[in-house]
Structure 1
């Protein structure tokens, strides 16, 4: 199963050091039966983008919790065995949990906001909790991050990616 794990650039240092994403359980997002039912769309790419977008939104919550992390969302795409994943539609349609850490060789790619998104991501991270609680103005700020596509990096580029940021 392809899952999308929210992260921060600061967390990527630990991933590089440990050669895995952890510790378990890890909350992630995926194309789940509940997401399929809600979206009513059979296009797998559309469904994967919806799950990916939820992970990017969750990365804002991680940034809110870590004021020292660079203000860029990070999403890790990973392929994990279905047996290691539990669905959690009680939390959100696309939420899953990996019961084991995800080894570096299971990562398919790394996605990071470009520099042009930094100011809007910073603003969104400051108000993500208010948006989650229904504040429409905060939701407008958070929705503004949807205008930015995260840049794609191969897993082998992780050391160079981390070198480009002083975290």
Structure 2
């Protein structure tokens, strides 16, 4: 099953060096029954995109918690074994699940990362994350603005070079 892990550059760097994402439980996003029901007319590609978009939004929350991380959303696409269905308390349209296992680096299929030009928009969203979660309309607008930024795709073999060039905090290593 394809899952999307919200991440930051420092967390990606740590996982790359450790050879795994953890500790469990990990928050992940996937095409869940609740998401499939919400997007009843969506094809598999649209559903995958919706799950990845929810993971990208969650990445902003991780950025809000780490003021030193580069203001770029990171989503890691992984292939994992079957994930048990949600317990029925999930909201319609929700792609979130909880993984109770470590995810090995070998399960990574790709990494999706904002371009450096998105840092201002993403930074504003991270700065108002708590207010957005509380429902403040202006803060929600700032968070929604991130969705206008495309995530770049990186193959797994490109990640070490990307991290070496960017550094874990998003600035050039020197």
TM-score (structure 2 length as normaliser): 0.90
The worse-fitting range, judged by mean Cα deviation, of 1-10 and 153-162 is 153-162
CA separation of 1:17/1:71 partners in 2, compared to 1, >3 Å: closer, same or farther? same
2:68 is the counterpart of 1:44: no
Dislocated runs of 4+, deviation >2 Å: 85-92
Partner of residue 33, structure 2 = 33
Partners of 2:164 and 2:87 in 1: CA distance: 36
SS for the counterpart of 2:6 is strand
Indicate whether 1:17 and 2:17 are aligned.
yes
- Structure 1 pair 89–130 and aligned structure 2 pair: CA distance change class (3 A): farther
- Number of the residue aligned with 1:77: 77
Mapped to 2, the partners of 1:88 and 1:152 lie a distance apart of: 32
- CA distance in 2 between partners of 1:23 and 1:134 (Å): 30
Report Cα offsets for 1:89-113 as digits up to 9, x if no partner: 6355211111111111111000110
Question: Cα 1:82–1:162, aligned 2, differ >3 Å: closer, same or farther?
Answer: same
Structure 2: gaps spanning 5 or more residues = 170-174
What is the aligned partner in structure 2 of residue 126 from structure 1? 127
Q: Number of paired residues?
A: 166
Give the direction of change, closer, same or farther, for the CA distance of 1:21–1:88 in structure 2 (3 Å limit).
Answer: farther
In structure 2, what is the Cα distance between the partners aligned to 1:45 and 1:110? 17
Q: Alignment partner of 1:40: what SS?
A: coil
- Secondary structure of the equivalent of 1:76? strand
Please tell me whether the aligned partners of residues 86 and 97 of structure 1 are also in contact (alpha carbons under 8 angstroms): no
Aligned mates of 1:89, 1:9 — CA distance in 2: 33
